[in-house]
Chain A
C-alpha cells in the first residue's frame, strides 16, 4: 500500500470517527436534530445527483419521489400495520415506477422537456395529494396532511424516543448513498452517463442506448430519494403535502447539489451539510430581525458560490485534498474524489 492510499484511508477513518462520536459530546436534542437534518439533506442532494448530476439532466420535481416514498410507507404502516422498515421498499418501488413513467416519454426528447415535465408532474402530484382524503382502504389526509401513528419507542417500527438513533440512521444512509455514488460513477453506466451528459449523438454512436441509461440511473435516483422521504416522515412524524412534495423540497435538492458540485461524488454531500448548516445558523440569528431576511442572505450565498465557483464548493476542497495527498491537481488519482 503506498502513501497516497494510506492517507486516503486515514482521512476516511478520521471523518467516520468524528461522525460516529458526535452524539457523545452534542447532547441537546435540538442540536442533534439540526445535524441529522444536515445529513438528510446531504443524502437527498446525493440521491438527486445520482441521475441529474451524473447525467446532466435537470429534475425540478424530485419532491414527488420523497412524497411517494413517504406516503406509501406511512399509509401501509397506518392502515395495515406494515413496519416502515419493510414499507420503505414498497415506497421505493413506487418511486421507481413513477420515475420510469415520467422518463419513458420524456427521455426521448432533447432539451428542456424533461425539466418541464418534472415541474408539471411535481405540482400535479402535490395538488393531487392535497385533494385526496382517502384512496381505497388508505387514509391520505388531503391538505391536512398525514400523521404518523405513534408507537413510543419501537425500533421495529422505525420509531425512537431519542434523537440519537435517527442521527446514526441518517449517517448510515449517507454513507450508503456515497458508496453507491462512487461505485456508479466508476461503473460502465457511470461512464455512459458522463458521455451522454456531454453529447447524446456521440454517445449513441459508441453503442450507448441513451434512453435506457437514463431510465436506469433515474430509477436509482428515485429509489434513494424515496427512502430519504421515508426517513423524513419518521423523523418529523407528520406529512404535509406542501413540505414533502412541494417546490421547496424539490428545489432544495437542486440547490444543495449544484452549490456543492453536481456530477461529483462528494459535492452534494459537502453542499448539503455546509449549506444547510449555514441556513440553520442564519435562521437562528436573523429570522427575528426582518421577515424572510434569512432566506435573502441564504439566496445571496447561493448566488455568490454559483458566480465564483460554478463547479461548486467541492472544487475548492479538491485542491486542498490533492495537496494533502501530495499529488498534482491533475494527478492520476483525481477521479477518486470528483
Chain B
C-alpha cells in the first residue's frame, strides 16, 4: 500500500484542442486535508471529474488506497470510498433532507431503518437536524451545501472531494462550514477541496496545490504558496510580475 490515500499521476484530459488538465501529479496523504486552488477555468473541477470517474482521462493514472481506479464509472468509485460534492449543488429537490441523505445511506445497507439511522447521524454532524423533514428545494444555499456534504458523508467515504462548498456563503456561514469540514477531517476522513475562499482554505488545509491552465504551478504549505510569484501572477495578472521581481 502506498503512503497516500490518493495519488494522481500525469493526469491529462483533452476536450478537443483544449487541454483542461495537463500532466497533473499530486497526492493526498492519509488523514490529510489538501486544497486545490487556481483561477477560474484552471481545470480544478475537471480534475475532480477525472478522479471521481465522470470523465475518463486521456492519459495518466488515479491511484486510490493503493488501487488503480483510472476510468472506472462514478458509482464504482464511490463504492470504493470516494465521496464528492458538486460545485453547482444537486439536491434531490422534491425529496426531504432525510430522504436525500438516506439515498447515500443505502450505499452500505439495503435496510430502510439502518439507512435512516446512518442518515440521522450524518444530518446531525453537518448541523441540519432542524431541517430533517424540509424539502431539499426549500433550503437556503448554505443548507444546500451542507446537504451536499451530508449526502456524500452518508456513503461512508475515506476521501471526500469538496467542490467549492464555501462559495456564495456569508462570513458567518463560512466560519460554520470551516468548523464542519475540520470536524469531518478530524474524524479520519481525508479531504481534497477546491476553493476560492483562500483564508478558509488555509484554515483547513495544511497542503495546497495551485493549478493554472490545467498545469500545476505551485504546491506546498499555505505560506509557501501565497508567497510564490507564479501564483501571484496567475491570480493578479502579468503586469504584477515586475513588481514582485
A-side residues, CB < 8 A to B, are 186-188, 191-192, 194-195, 198-199, 201-210, 330, 332, 335
Partner of A205, one of B74, B94, B99, B102: B74
Map CB proximity to A onto B71-89 as digits: 1 under 8 Å, 0 otherwise.
0011100110001101000
Does B59 lie at the interface of the complex (its beta carbon under 8 Å from any beta carbon of A)? no
For A187, list chain B residues within 8 Å (CB): 110, 112
7 contacts between A and B (CB under 8 A): A187-B110, A187-B112, A198-B95, A201-B86, A206-B103, A206-B155, A209-B73
Q: Say whether B106 contacts A201, CB under 8 Å.
A: no
Report the nearest A residue to B79, measured CB to CB. Answer: A207
Nearest chain A CB to B222's CB is how many angstroms away?
28
With A188-B115, A191-B99 as contacts: A206 and B107 at CB distance below 8 Å? yes
For B103, list chain A residues within 8 Å (CB): 191-192, 194-195, 203, 206, 208
For B75, list chain A residues within 8 Å (CB): 204-210
**A203 to B90 alpha-carbon distance, docked (Å):** 9
Does B104 lie at the interface of the complex (its beta carbon under 8 Å from any beta carbon of A)? yes
**A205 to B78 alpha-carbon distance, docked (Å):** 6
With A194-B95, A198-B93 as contacts: A207 and B78 at CB distance below 8 Å? yes
For B78, list chain A residues within 8 Å (CB): 204-207
For A208, list chain B residues within 8 Å (CB): 75, 103
Shortest beta-carbon contacts, A-B, top 10:
A202-B90, A207-B78, A204-B74, A198-B92, A207-B107, A195-B103, A188-B106, A188-B110, A199-B90, A206-B104
**A300 to B239 alpha-carbon distance, docked (Å):** 67
For B110, list chain A residues within 8 Å (CB): 187-188
For A210, list chain B residues within 8 Å (CB): 75
With A191-B102, A207-B75, A330-B133 as contacts: A202 and B112 at CB distance below 8 Å? no
Nearest chain A CB to B21's CB is how many angstroms away?
19
| 12 more CB-based (< 8 A) A-B contacts, given A192-B106, A194-B103, A207-B107 | A191-B102, A191-B103, A192-B103, A194-B95, A198-B92, A198-B93, A202-B90, A205-B75, A206-B75, A206-B103, A207-B79, A208-B103
Of listed B102, B106, B107, residue having the most chain A CB within 10 A: B106
Q: Say whether A195 contacts B133, CB under 8 Å.
A: no
Q: Say whether B99 contacts A206, CB under 8 Å.
A: no
Nearest chain A CB to B203's CB is how many angstroms away?
26
Does B152 lie at the interface of the complex (its beta carbon under 8 Å from any beta carbon of A)? yes
**A225 to B54 alpha-carbon distance, docked (Å):** 35
With A188-B112, A202-B86, A209-B75 as contacts: A194 and B106 at CB distance below 8 Å? no
**A335 to B110 alpha-carbon distance, docked (Å):** 18
Interface residues of B in 115-142 (CB under 8 A from A): 115, 133, 135
**A192 to B78 alpha-carbon distance, docked (Å):** 15
**A248 to B22 alpha-carbon distance, docked (Å):** 55
Nearest chain A CB to B113's CB is how many angstroms away?
11
For B93, list chain A residues within 8 Å (CB): 198
Of listed B54, B75, B95, B151, residue having the most chain A CB within 10 A: B75
For B91, list chain A residues within 8 Å (CB): 198, 202
For A332, list chain B residues within 8 Å (CB): 133
**A201 to B92 alpha-carbon distance, docked (Å):** 11
